[in-house]
Amino acid sequence: MVCLGNICRSPMAEGIMRKLGEKKVEVDSAGTADYHIGFQPDKRMIATAKEHGVDISNLRARQFQSDDFDSFDLIFAMDSSNYQDIISLAKDDNDKQKVKMILDNSNVPDPYYGGDEGFEHVYQLLHEACQKILEDIE
Ligand code: 4NP
C-alpha cells in the first residue's frame, strides 16, 4: 500500500487489510517521499482508524524502494501521482505489472490539509477497496 507520506492513506490501507485479511495476506505500506520516515501515522488518521476498530498507532513511515518489487506480488498506489512515482522505480515490465491503482480509476484524496471528514472518507473508500481486493485474490 503506497501513498506520498506513509502517514495517512497507506497506513490506513495497511491496517484495514491486516484486519480483513486475518493473516492470510502479508501486507506493508510505504510512501514515495522521504519527509516522514520513522514517524507515526497522522493523529487524525489514527483516531479515525480507532473509531472503526483498527489500530495503526504502532506503524512507522518508511519510503518505498525498488527492492519492494521483489518482496511483494501486488503494489497498490493511492493516487495517480504515487502510481507514476512507483512505476519510475520499476526495473522491468514484470515490476510494472505489479502496480495497480487501489481505486479502479480514481484517486484516494489526500486528507492531510483538510478537515476530519476527509479522514472518514478515506477510511470508507479504503475499506471498500480492501474488501474487493481480498475477494479478487481469494
Ligand atoms: P499521505 O498524506 O500521502 O496519505 O501520507 C500526506 C502526508 C503528508 C504530506 C502529504 C500527504 N505532506 O506534504 O507533508
- Residue 106 makes CB contacts below 8 A (sequence gap 6+) with none
**Residues acting as catalytic residues:** 3, 9, 110
Residues belonging to the chain: 138
Atom of ligand 1 nearest to the CA of 10: 4
Does domain 2-137 fall under CATH 3.90.1010.10? My reply is no
pTM: 0.96
Average pLDDT over residues 61-74: 98
- How does pLDDT run across 71-126, given as a tens digit for each residue? 999 999 999 999 999 999 999 999 999 999 999 889 999 999 988 899 999 999 99
Reduced to 3 states, what is the DSSP secondary structure of residue 41? coil
Asked if residues 48 and 120 have their Cβ atoms less than 8 Å apart, the reply is yes
Candidate of 3, 16, 60, 103 to mutate for ligand 1, largest count of ligand atoms within 8 Å of Cβ: 3
